Amino acid sequence: MPYYRLQNGSYLTIVSKGRLLKFGDYVMFFENNTFDFQRPIDFSSNHRILLGCQSALCIDSRIDAMLRKKESNNAYIIYGAFVFLWNLQYSVPRNWMLLSKELSLNYRNLDAAFLDSRSNSYYFFKVRAFEQILENQILIFEQIRKENQVYCNKSDVGTPIATLFHRSGFDSRTRIDAAVYYDRFVYIFKGNK
């Protein structure tokens, strides 16, 4: 579930549950090292709802990642090979660009992303498949192993998640669902944990 931190300290998230998709402003409060989700009941103009979004974004009712744009209060919504720039003053993300052009990232279908506001750096999580071809005189066997990598800014060289978060117990197969940078810490979400 992707998150986006507003400058006032609240968080915005887009939640998908089963076949029913709910877009809306969920306010997330951080207290005692836990996040508390609250959905406002008041749907007045004070609470924007992401309705009427472009079909390219909403066609299969999910997004890959959501993060704040550097030096801006706008958000990036990342979906496949595309990134949508969402000006939070409007209820619909209107401008879409290719991910490779806007963020200079050569990967698509990211697992998670966040902006480290201290270093002003983007971090992207992606499962990457490595292919090894073993040659026998007659047959060529292809083995694919998957490893979760973390990429910083425009780098094409990833760091294995097990190396970067070595105290977490993550291994090369750990797949990340969301990441949030808050108060000098990175919070990693996997499933409901």
Percent of the chain residues past pLDDT 70, beyond the cut: 34
pLDDT confidence tier of residue 9, bands split at 50, 70 and 90? low
Evaluate whether 160 touches 168 at the Cβ level (below 8 Å).
no
Distance CA(138)–CA(180), nearest Å, equals: 50
Question: Is 0.75 surpassed by the pTM of this model?
Answer: no
The token pair at 157 is: 């060289």
- Residue range 122-131: average pLDDT? 67
How far from 21 is each of 4, 16, 89, 90, 180, CA to CA, in Å?
Answer: 18, 5, 22, 20, 22
Domains and CATH numbers, the chain: 3-189 (2.110.10)
Q: What is the pLDDT of residue 132?
A: 42
List beta partners, residue 55: none
Residue pLDDT, tens place only, 141-188: 444 445 566 767 666 666 766 676 666 667 666 777 888 887 878 787
Residue pLDDT, tens place only, 30-58: 555 555 555 544 333 333 334 445 555 55
